[in-house]
């Protein structure tokens, strides 16, 4: 699509959102042209806060399915629409509620902390939910004598063990996008760009994190924390180890600074399934409502509300 066609479609989307009284929320990994029509762009935690805070009756969620589902659970009186219901998440798919029930039965009395990248059914089996933005605070809020089952991301789990000093029992799931950012990618940049700060998402592979811990130019951050860090830092150059959609947001928020992807291949195909055309169709036709079975939603809400309450 040429620039004019994109701008025309964006105008149509904004007009339809006004007519419908809808708020558009977009994740930091969304396509640039989708981020640009959103009322709010942010990470999983920020989007949950925005969903809860909005006065709008309809939320159009530009992100993957578990994120829209989380908004639907937090806001049972609002209509949550997703432009493509097939926008999944390989990490969320790495554990089912049945697998979690079995795991819990092997560890009676343990506290279950689920990353937000999970289905509603898995959240309903959990005591706490967390995002990369508050995972550390959630773990630290749990009394030290409790065993914690942490799921589903093993790299985030290992990072949490390091920063909290707690021993966690960790599910062996991973995000294929972040696991694909290899230690060699980091190493290359460490030598080629000694003047740059390195921003690493905690879902990235364990080996790259271990190396990354070796110097004070490296920062393990959620996507929103990366934006905050880059805008507040006096530094000019940043290497970014996460999904490359974040580069658009970083460039918008910190114009004049330089942001480079550690791996150009770090693309989440699910996030990219949300296109401007699909956002337009969703708003025009009111389609792809995300709804969660009431019993599951009621059980999952407690864990999610605990997540939203812990900053």
Angle at 3 between CA 21 and CA 224, to 5 degrees: 60
Q: Given the rule CB under 6 A, which of 69-77, 136-144, 263-271, 280-288 is the region that contacts ligand SF4?
A: 263-271
DSSP 8-state code for residue 238: E
The two tokens of residue 2 are 């040429």
How crowded is residue 257: how many other Cβ atoms within 10 Å of its Cβ?
15
Contact call for residue 259 and ligand SF4 (CB under 6 A): no
Asked if 129 touches ligand SF4 (CB under 6 A), the answer is: no
* Smallest separation (angstroms) from ligand 13P to the CB of 90: 10
The residues facing 41 across adjacent strands are: 26
Round to whole Å and give the CA distance between 101 and 89.
21
If binding is defined by CB under 6 A, does position 117 make contact with ligand 13P?
yes
Q: Which two tokens stand for residue 298?
A: 């009621």
Place of tokens 């924390």: 225
22 is a site residue for ligand SF4 (CB under 6 A): no
Q: Which is nearer to ligand 13P, 10 or 52 (CB)?
A: 52
Mark residues 220-239: x for contact with ligand 13P by CB under 6 A, - for none: --xx----------------
Indicate which of ligand 13P, ligand SF4, none lies near residue 90 (CB less than 5 to 8 Å, by partner kind): ligand SF4
Give 16's contacts (C-beta < 8 A, 6+ positions apart): 22, 280, 283, 284
Positions 161 through 190 that interact with ligand SF4 (CB under 6 A): 175, 177
Q: With CB under 6 A, what is the number of residues at the site for ligand 13P?
A: 11
**3-class DSSP state for residue 270?**
coil
Q: Which residue in 114, 126, 131, 282 binds ligand 13P (CB under 6 A)?
A: 131
- Residue 50's contacts (CB-CB under 8 Å, 6 or more residues apart) are 23, 25, 39, 40, 42
Q: Is 117 in the site for ligand SF4 (CB under 6 A)?
A: yes
Among 13, 16, 33, 44, binds ligand 13P (CB under 6 A): 44
Task: Give the nearer residue to ligand 13P in terms of CB position, either 121 or 153.
Answer: 153
Residue 270 binds which of ligand SF4, ligand 13P, none (CB < 5-8 A, kind-dependent): ligand SF4
Q: In the range 185-214, which residues lie near ligand 13P by CB under 6 A?
A: 203
**CA-closest candidate to residue 290, choices 21, 20, 19, 71:** 71
Tokens linked to 262 = 């550690």
**Closest Cα partner for 25 from 59, 1, 57?**
59
Note the residues at the interface with ligand 13P (CB under 6 A): 28, 43-44, 117, 131-133, 175, 203, 222-223
Interface contacts to ligand SF4, rule CB under 6 A: 64, 89-91, 117, 175, 177, 243, 268, 270-271
């Amino acid at each position: 699509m040429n620039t004019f066609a994109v701008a025309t479609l964006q105008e149509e989307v904004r007009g339809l959102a006004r007519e419908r009284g809808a708020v558009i929320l977009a994740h930091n990994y969304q396509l640039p042209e989708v981020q640009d029509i959103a009322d709010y762009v942010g990470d999983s935690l920020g989007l949950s806060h925005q969903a809860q805070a909005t006065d709008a009756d309809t939320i159009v969620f530009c992100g993957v399915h578990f994120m829209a589902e989380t908004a639907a659970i937090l806001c049972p009186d609002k209509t949550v629409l997703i432009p493509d219901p097939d926008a999944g998440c390989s990490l969320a798919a790495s554990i089912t509620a049945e697998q979690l029930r079995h795991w819990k039965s092997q560890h009676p009395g343990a506290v279950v902390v689920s990353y937000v990248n999970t289905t509603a059914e898995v959240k309903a089996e959990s005591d706490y939910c967390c995002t990369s933005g508050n995972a550390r605070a959630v773990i630290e809020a749990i009394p030290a004598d409790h065993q914690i089952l942490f799921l589903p991301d093993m790299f985030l789990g290992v990072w949490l063990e390091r920063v909290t000093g707690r021993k966690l029992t960790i599910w062996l799931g991973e995000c294929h996008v972040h696991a694909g950012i290899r230690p060699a990618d980091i190493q290359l940049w460490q030598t080629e760009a000694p003047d740059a700060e390195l921003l690493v998402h905690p879902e990235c592979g364990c080996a790259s994190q271990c190396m990354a811990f070796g110097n004070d130019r490296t920062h393990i951050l959620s996507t929103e924390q990366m934006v905050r860090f880059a805008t507040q830092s006096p530094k000019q150059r940043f290497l970014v180890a996460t999904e490359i959609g974040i580069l658009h947001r970083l460039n918008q928020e910190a114009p004049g600074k330089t942001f480079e992807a550690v791996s150009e291949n770090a693309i989440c195909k699910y996030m990219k399934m949300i296109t401007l055309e699909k956002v337009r169709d969703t708003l025009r036709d009111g389609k792809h409502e995300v709804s969660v079975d009431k019993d599951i939603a009621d059980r999952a809400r407690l864990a999610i509300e605990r997540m939203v309450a812990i900053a």
